[in-house]
Structure 1
Amino acid sequence: MKSANGRTPPRLVARFVAISWRDLAVSFGPILLIAAAAIWIAVRLIQPAPPSTLTMTAGPQGSSFWNAAQKYKAILARNGITLNVLTSEGSAQNLQRLADPHGNVDVGFVQDGITATQPIDGLMSLGSVAYVPLAIFYHGPTVTRLSEFKGQRLAIGAEGSGTRELALALLKANGIEPDGSTKLLPLSGDEAAQALTEGKVDAAFLTGDSAQPPVMVKLTHTPNIQFYNFTQAEAYGRRFPYLTPIHIPMGAFDFGKNLPAQPLQMVAPTEELVARTSLHPALSDLLIEAAREVHGKANLLQHAGEFPAPLAHDFPISDDAARYYKSGKSFLYRVLPFWIASLVDRLLVVVVPLVVVLIPALRLVPSLYAWRVKSRIYRWYGALIAIERGALSETSAEERQALIERLDAIEESVNGLKMPLAYADQFYVLREHIGFVRARLTQGLDHPHDAAHPHAPAAASPADEAGKPSTASPHETA
């Protein structure tokens, strides 16, 4: 049905809705994708939950490090961690187990100085936990240099022990090789001390449990047995960086008998707590805490609090251990139980990226939403301006009719919009502007004579009429 002027009346105006879900989805969709990508990256990087079981390789059953491992076991059990302790021949076997990628060992005690010159991949240090002093007892006249033991019978420790590895390194530096005239016997501990007292060996190299003060006092009291004084201790410390010179003051073993009767010098490598690089950071902290409780007390060789310490020689100190020695436990592990702190710590890895991404992004959503809705309105103004410029120029009736048809198409499209109620005012402003352009176009069509004679003077606009002086008399005006 057409109106009186022959134009089809426009259909109903746009449908108004509370919110445009399509525009909201398009505005919010990229942010959701970015957030999902951030979560995916965080989940890929997040540390898994710490395992509830660890395996430690320690030393011979009853040795000081085996006993220390039992204390570690009790301490870790407070936090729900089960520690399985394996016996071993000593540091060399511990290192072999740790270096085996297929071995089921997570952490162990390894004496410095027994590794090859090249570092072993996949292992890291949680710090040094104790000195392992080297004590040498021998028969006969006083010996001042290790090279004087050449050609004698020496008990240097069992195969796979740190004592043997250290003795071989020091003897080699003094020109004594395993295949030479010197007999290097695989005796250690009490067996080596007994062989020395019975005269079956000429010297015994003792470390760790075998070099504890009670054993040293016993051998010192044995006739014709002397304690080797490392008069070159400082030089050994310079030559072998993993060795620390140890000063034993006069009377340290027995005040009443003044043993030793003069100060003695010893050398001692440190024992490191070595772990695989795959060790969970939370368990790294627990192990260092246990080491502090077990090894932190004062004794003849160390001051209180001297161990554990970030002294790494053969293995790089782990980043988590370095952080712990510098600033202690993290805040969460200080105030929360271990497993809750571990859970919260892992959740933060996901939450923080979300907060960083979503909070700024959510502030942009209203602006993006408003821009999308308004863009559907603003895009018609370019076409209106083009039509209005055509209306202002000198055009024929046919050209004006074509412009009106273009305007009808625009109005039809605008009336088909689906608009949120919040933007209804801008929609109606656009319709008013369409009506304004339509009035410009139909102005010429309402005066056919003017359209037939385009050069005739145009009718004055309401503004022009308002600007002319009035010709009516004052009486008529009144």
Structure 2
Amino acid sequence: MRLRVNPLLLGWGLGILGLVALAGLWVLLVPPGPKELRIAAGQRGGAYAATAEAYAAALRAQGLEATVVHTDGAVDNLALLRARRVDLALVQGGLAGTAAPAEARERDEGLVSLGSVFFEPAWFFVQAGMPAVTRQALLGRRIAVGPEGSGSRALALALLDANGIPADQVTLLSFVGMRAATALLDGEADAAFFVSAQAHAPIAALMRVPDRARLVDFAPWADAYARLLPYLTPVTLPRSGFSLAEDLPEADVRLLAPAAYVAARADINPQVAALVAGVMRRTHADRQGFAAEGRFPAILNQELPVQPDARRFIERGPPLLQSWLPFHWAVFIDRLLVLAVPALTVALPLLRFAPPLWRWSVERRIWRRYADLARLEGRVADPDAPLDDAARQEVLARLARLEARVATMTVPHAFLHRIFTLRRDIAFLRRQLARQA
């Protein structure tokens, strides 16, 4: 049995399959952007919280719902991101990726960085009478480093470890903020460690009593620390940089600074990554306390892989569509452009078959009428069953109906000659019937 394939049905089938394939690509290859972003922001009143609030306001202006999630600090931010409970997190340099302990690196494999946004210097204060800050001088000391899981505690432990000082050979105090500053001034602690982008109240309180508390100058060891801990960048607090009126400090002080960065999951929508990079630029491009104008956002000592779209934005500027269109329109058009190649791949073969299919569909309508005429002609010309008057009248009536049907057919001009030929053949058969009568 010979299988006959209807070209028209084949064309429709290919077209439907193509549309289904494009719909699948639309969903799988270019997922739509999210409608909401959750940002882990650290403690209320801190630099991270202020930064997250600025991000949220800018994202809302682009039509995205943005929620700021307050936490206990940078370590907590990173934990929430690992648990997929937030979409973005402000993270202190040195806590994730290559700088993290081996057991944490596996958890960070699905994370990326969108770029660094500001320096967070380590402010290490000791009692004024304490000798030079060396390994021997620190052994057995009481040091306020912040609570368990805080970014300041993590950095303090890394610095102690770089000096070969095990954590069990010093007394680590969980004091934070003004409590740590007060403990140092009251003799309850020998040193206090802060990590902050600004000289907030506890740091300011200690800076103003240089006869009781001394800010450690890391200048002699800055390069060595930066070599051992690559996420640290030496920065300078210039003379009178804290207060020109009070001439504080009285000389340049070299500090060690990790760079805070924005972390996200590796499956972040590419357009969202570029959008957040743009928000970071508008928020941090101005001059900062320890960075010149335009220094941030930056690709700086990244311990996580940098998301490609964020890298392109930082290095080359915003995508063209986002420069001219609102975010959601830019995402929609970008999805269409991504689908252009597979769409053309599907459409070109269909376009190649379209003209033959179109001609076949028109000719098929004409040949169906020819088939009707051929059946009538076979009955008229059958020598074994000559027509009587009644049969002849029936054939004439069927010819009349066929001719009326042909007369109402609408076909392109290129096929009109086929219609005229068909009508001529109908007239020819009618004449044969007249001769037989």
TM range (shorter): 0.7 to 0.9
| Partners of 1:294 and 1:352 in 2: CA distance | 37
* Native 8 Å contact 1:23 1:369 kept in 2: no
Once the two structures are overlaid, the 10-residue window that deviates more, 325-334 or 48-57, is 325-334
Matched residue type, 2:331: S
What does residue 58 of structure 1 align with? Answer: 41
- Segments of 5+ residues of structure 1 without an aligned counterpart are 1-20, 374-419, 429-478
Q: Please name the residue that 2:382 is paired with.
A: none
Helix, strand or coil at the partner of 1:179: helix
Task: Provide the TM-score with structure 1 as the length reference.
Answer: 0.67
SS at match of 2:167: coil
Partner of 1:219: 206
Letter in 2 for 1:47: V
1:33 & 1:67 partners in 2: Cα distance? 52
Contact 1:31-1:358 at 8 Å conserved across structures: no
Distance 1:423 1:353, change over 3 A: farther
User: Is 1:323–2:312 an aligned residue pair?
Assistant: yes
The separation in 1 between residues aligned to 2:87 and 2:24, in whole angstroms, is 28
Distance 1:213 1:252, change over 3 A: farther
Asked whether 1:49 is paired with 2:38, we answer no
- Per the alignment, residue 173 of structure 2 pairs with 185
Q: Could you say which residue in structure 2 is the equivalent of 1:358? A: 347
Match of 2:276 among 287, 296, 299: 287
User: CA 1:215/1:191 → structure 2, altered by over 3 Å: closer, same or farther?
Assistant: closer
Structure 1 residue 127 and structure 2 residue 115: aligned? Answer: yes
- Tell me if the contact between 2:162 and 2:228 (Cα under 8 Å) persists in the aligned partners: no
For residues 88-142 of structure 1, give each alpha carbon's deviation from its aligned partner in whole angstroms, at most 9, with x where no partner exists.
11111111111124xx211111112123243512211111111110011111234
CA distance in 1, matches of 2:252, 2:201: 17
Deviates more, 1:337-346 or 1:105-114: 337-346
Indicate whether 1:84 and 2:67 are aligned. Answer: yes
CA displacement, residues 127-178 of structure 1 (integer Å, 9 cap, x when unaligned): 1111110011111234243552111111011112100000011112223222
Q: Which deviates further from its counterpart, 157-166 or 113-122?
A: 113-122
Match of 1:314 in 2: 303
Pairwise CA distance, 1:215: 4.7
CA contact (8 A) 1:128 1:271 kept: yes
- 1:116 is aligned, of 97, 101, 106, to 101
Identity of aligned residues (%): 34
Alpha-carbon distance between aligned partners in 2 of 1:23 and 1:80, rounded to the nearest angstrom: 48
Q: Is the 8 A contact 1:125 1:312 kept in 2?
A: no
Which shows bigger deviation, 225-234 or 171-180?
171-180
- One-letter amino acid of the structure 1 residue matched with residue 207 of structure 2: T
* Conserved 8 A contact 1:241-1:313: no
Task: Pick 1 or 2: higher relative contact order, CA cutoff 8 A, min separation 6.
Answer: 1
1:188-267 matches, within 5 Å, as 188-208=176-196, 212=199, 215-222=202-209, 223-230=211-218, 231-267=220-256
Change in Cα spacing, 1:86 to 1:41, as seen in structure 2 (3 Å) is closer
Please say if residues 47 and 346 of structure 1, whose CA atoms lie closer than 8 Å, have aligned partners that are also in contact.
yes
- Is contact 1:154–1:183 with CA below 8 Å preserved after alignment? yes
Alpha-carbon distance in structure 2 between the residues aligned to 1:141 and 1:55: 45
Q: Distance in 2 between matches of 1:295 and 1:197?
A: 35
Could you list the per-position Cα deviations for residues 187-214 of structure 1 after superposition, in whole angstroms to 9, with x for gaps in the alignment? 12221111111111010011116x6166
Taking the aligned partners of 1:287 and 1:219, their CA distance within structure 2 comes to: 36
Distance 1:284 1:88 in 2: 23
Alpha-carbon shift at residue 422 of structure 1 (Å)? 6.1
Q: State the partner residue of 1:35.
A: 18
Match of 1:390 in 2: none
Superimposed CA distance per residue, residues 365-421 of structure 1 (whole angstroms, 9 cap, x where no aligned partner): 446888999xxxxxxxxxxxxxxxxxxxxxxxxxxxxxxxxxxxxxxxxxxxxxx98
Q: Distance in 2 between matches of 1:90 and 1:96?
A: 10
One-letter amino acid matched to 2:174: P
Contact kept, 8 Å, 2:234 with 2:256, in 1: the verdict is yes
- What is the distance in 2 between the residues matched to 1:234 and 1:243? 10
- RMSD of aligned C-alpha atoms? 3.0
Consecutive unaligned residues in structure 2, runs of 5 or more: 363-410, 422-437
1:61, CA displacement in angstroms?
0.9
Does structure 1 retain, via aligned residues, the 8 Å contact 2:88–2:264? yes
Q: Does 1:165 pair with 2:150? A: no
Deviation track 1:327-357 (CA, whole Å, cap 9, x = no partner) reads 3322222222222222222233444422343
* TM-score w.r.t. length of structure 2: 0.73
Once residues 299 and 366 of structure 1 are traced to their aligned partners in structure 2, the CA distance between those partners, rounded to angstroms, is 66
How far apart, CA to CA, are the structure 1 residues paired with 2:349 and 2:323? 32
| 8 Å contact from structure 1 (residues 252, 260) kept in 2 | yes
> Is residue 177–residue 202 contact of structure 2 (8 Å, CA) maintained in 1?
no
Paired residue total: 356
The answer to whether the 8 A contact 2:160-2:167 is kept is no
> Residues 427-465 of structure 1: CA distance to partner in whole angstroms, max 9, x if unpaired?
x9xxxxxxxxxxxxxxxxxxxxxxxxxxxxxxxxxxxxx
